[in-house]
């Protein structure tokens, strides 16, 4: 009963902290990190443990799927160069810098363990950054770069983490055997993710109840991750490919009465998982802190603070250096990309370099270390310090920094939504053209009115008229038209999801 009371209290406390974060315009993970630290030193706090093997599956799999499902392949392709450098070079530099620093401070730490710590703290968590970025007038391209980085840097960092942990725990490791198996795992993960998405689509077509559909979605996510790991594949890559493939096929097959509650449940679950991650890591800090004597305790604190400084500094140095070099290359016409590329600006580089807050992936990776892993206590303490420090230092200053830089946003999503809305309602009109009934004439009048204000910012509401088959037929035509626009990449995923939401509510209204 006591554990149940603690869970209720923690969830309600998290809701209050998130409300306070919204009021102060800061990322809610910042306050969750502060709450987790405070909980670590509550004398009568709960003593909860979680199997390390479950940490990545429980915390990372659903969060990663949620992020990958909303990823725009068009925007990833358009920004492949900055995203790939952040995913590969920035993660690699951060991992290497942290490994060298920690091995220098603690010479008896194995190199594999030092690299594992570097990989743990390397991937930034864009959930914290985008919570702020979507509230300010940030250029759309910068937002897409950060979102693309947040999705793919988890895969690159956790791949390094997996190799390092394997090296540290293996008694005899032959690279001649390990490298081919790793390459096979990468290819197999991509193929497995695609095939699982296709199979899931076929097997779930007959599920028409929202509770059953949502349960199957979560069960399949965890199952795919667990099976991929048991087969020696990368659970991260498998889930990412699985989610991206689903995102391209599911909108045309899932009805609105399933999609609307599904999105709401997934958003809630991601929030709850963030709460649990910070709480569980906070609870692990107390026994770690208590069993360390004073000299070791403060030595570990010094290492954690140094790692935090290196993590922040490495990202700033790389992003600003990359921007300066690319501006020079473009100015001298040495780079001729297929798509027009906007030269990175100094202001944009400052924002991207400061969006390096760490979050749930770092916490889960640290928690997932085996119990007997070298310096596990130090790595847990360091991971929480980096997450807490980055969320407080960068999370609390990001919005004032963006405001001071006065960046301009061309808002391409707004124009794409207006274009898609116009095409959609023209298709709806065409679908009922020629029907002589009074209901059809009323619906034509309504859609003509909607079409006349298709570019308005306030969205469209079409629930005033009675529900009837004509409306549903028109909505199906409108939905197919925006699916075609997305497929042809005339509109991006952000615009598509806004229009999809409008049509979902219209469809729910049409069903009475």
Taking only the tens place, the pLDDT of each residue in 36-73 is: 778 777 777 677 777 777 778 888 888 888 888 877 78
pLDDT score at 182: 65
Residues 314 and 383 in one domain: yes
Q: Is the pLDDT of residue 115 over 90?
A: yes
Residues 364 and 310 in one domain: yes
pLDDT score at 264: 87
Does residue 182 form part of some domain? yes
Task: State the angle between helix axes of 126-133 and 140-169 in degrees (0 to 180), rounded to the nearest 10.
Answer: 170
CA distance linking residue 137 with residue 128, whole number of Å? 17
Parent domain of 165 = 2-48+77-194+278-405
Q: Is the pLDDT of residue 463 over 70?
A: no
What percent of the chain lies above the pLDDT cut of 90? 17
pLDDT score at 231: 86
Does residue 269 form part of some domain? no
3-state secondary structure at position 323: helix
241 and 194 in contact (C-beta within 8 Å)? yes
pLDDT score at 490: 86
Residues 443 and 485 in one domain: yes
CA distance linking residue 119 with residue 366, whole number of Å? 10
CA distance linking residue 144 with residue 411, whole number of Å? 12
Residues 291 and 434 in one domain: no
pLDDT score at 342: 63
Residues 11 and 116 in one domain: yes
Residues 298 and 398 in one domain: yes
Within 10 angstroms of residue 92's Cβ, the number of other Cβ atoms is 17
Residues 313 and 372 in one domain: yes
Q: Is the pLDDT of residue 304 over 50?
A: yes
Last residue of a domain, one of 387, 405, 423: 405
CA distance linking residue 71 with residue 492, whole number of Å? 10
Q: Is the pLDDT of residue 277 over 90?
A: no
Place of tokens 């088959």: 469
Does residue 237 form part of some domain? no
Mean of per-residue pLDDT scores for the chain: 81
Does residue 220 form part of some domain? no
pLDDT score at 512: 47
Residues 462 and 499 in one domain: yes
Give 133-149 pLDDT, tens digit per residue: 666 667 778 888 888 88
201 and 156 in contact (C-beta within 8 Å)? no
Does residue 433 form part of some domain? yes
Give 407-429 pLDDT, tens digit per residue: 776 667 777 888 888 888 788 88
Residues 8 and 116 in one domain: yes
pLDDT score at 452: 72
Question: Regarding predicted confidence, which is higher, 303 or 446?
Answer: 303
pLDDT score at 223: 93
Last residue of a domain, one of 389, 405, 421: 405
Residues 88 and 131 in one domain: yes
pLDDT score at 242: 92
CA distance linking residue 266 with residue 244, whole number of Å? 16
At residue 126 the predicted structure's pLDDT band, cuts being 50, 70 and 90, is low
At residue 435 the predicted structure's pLDDT band, cuts being 50, 70 and 90, is confident
Does residue 361 form part of some domain? yes
pLDDT score at 460: 46
Residues 288 and 317 in one domain: yes
Highest mean pLDDT among 38-52, 233-247, 496-510: 233-247
At residue 437 the predicted structure's pLDDT band, cuts being 50, 70 and 90, is confident
Does residue 383 form part of some domain? yes
CA distance linking residue 45 with residue 416, whole number of Å? 51
Does residue 170 form part of some domain? yes
Last residue of a domain, one of 405, 420, 453: 405
Residues 439 and 349 in one domain: no
Domain count, the chain: 2
Q: Which residues contact 400 (CB under 8 A, 6 or more apart)?
A: none
């Amino acid at each position: 009963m006591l554990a149940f009371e603690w869970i209720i209290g923690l969830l309600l406390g998290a809701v209050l902290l998130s409300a306070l974060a919204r009021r102060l315009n800061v990322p809610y993970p910042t306050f969750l990190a502060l709450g987790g630290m405070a909980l670590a030193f509550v004398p009568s706090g709960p003593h909860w443990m979680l199997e390390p093997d479950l940490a990545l599956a429980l915390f990372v799999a659903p969060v990663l799927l949620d992020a990958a499902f909303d990823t725009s392949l068009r925007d990833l392709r358009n920004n492949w160069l900055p995203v790939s450098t952040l995913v590969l070079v920035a993660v690699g530099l951060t991992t290497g810098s942290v490994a060298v620093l920690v091995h220098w401070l603690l010479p008896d730490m194995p190199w594999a363990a030092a690299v594992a710590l570097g990989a743990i703290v390397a991937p930034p968590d864009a959930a914290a950054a985008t919570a702020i970025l979507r509230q300010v007038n940030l250029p759309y391209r910068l937002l897409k770069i950060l979102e693309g980085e947040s999705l793919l840097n988890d895969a690159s960092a956790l791949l390094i983490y997996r190799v390092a942990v394997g090296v540290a725990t293996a008694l005899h490791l032959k690279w001649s055997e390990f490298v081919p198996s790793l390459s096979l795992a990468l290819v197999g993960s991509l193929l497995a993710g695609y095939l699982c998405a296709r199979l899931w689509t076929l097997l779930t077509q007959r599920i028409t109840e929202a509770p059953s559909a949502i349960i199957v979605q979560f069960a399949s996510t965890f199952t795919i991750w667990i099976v991929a790991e048991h087969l020696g594949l990368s659970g991260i890559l498998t889930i990412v490919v699985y989610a991206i493939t689903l995102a391209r096929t599911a909108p045309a097959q899932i009805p609105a009465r399933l999609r609307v509650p599904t999105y709401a449940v997934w958003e809630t679950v991601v929030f709850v998982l963030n709460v649990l991650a910070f709480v569980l890591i906070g609870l692990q800090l107390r026994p770690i802190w208590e069993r360390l004597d004073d000299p070791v305790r403060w030595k570990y604190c010094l290492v954690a603070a140094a790692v935090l400084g290196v993590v922040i500094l490495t990202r700033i140095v790389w992003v600003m250096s990359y921007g300066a070099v690319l501006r020079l290359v473009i100015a001298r016409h040495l780079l001729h990309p297929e798509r027009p590329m906007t030269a990175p600006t100094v202001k944009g580089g400052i924002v991207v370099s400061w969006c390096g807050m760490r979050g749930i992936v770092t916490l889960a990776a640290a928690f997932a270390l085996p119990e007997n892993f070298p310096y596990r206590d130090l790595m847990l303490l360091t991971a929480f310090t980096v997450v807490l420090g980055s969320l407080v230092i960068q999370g609390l200053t990001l919005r004032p920094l963006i405001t001071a830089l006065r960046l301009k946003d061309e808002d391409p999503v707004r124009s794409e939504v207006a274009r898609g809305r116009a095409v959609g309602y023209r298709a709806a009109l065409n679908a009922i053209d020629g029907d002589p009934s009074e209901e059809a004439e009323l619906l034509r009048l309504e859609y003509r009115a909607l079409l006349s204000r298709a570019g308005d910012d306030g969205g469209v509401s079409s629930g005033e008229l009675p529900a009837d088959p004509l409306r549903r037929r028109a909505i199906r035509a409108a939905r197919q038209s925006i699916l075609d626009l997305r497929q042809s990449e005339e509109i991006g995923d952000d615009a598509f999801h806004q229009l999809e939401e409008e049509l979902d509510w219209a469809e729910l209204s049409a069903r009475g």
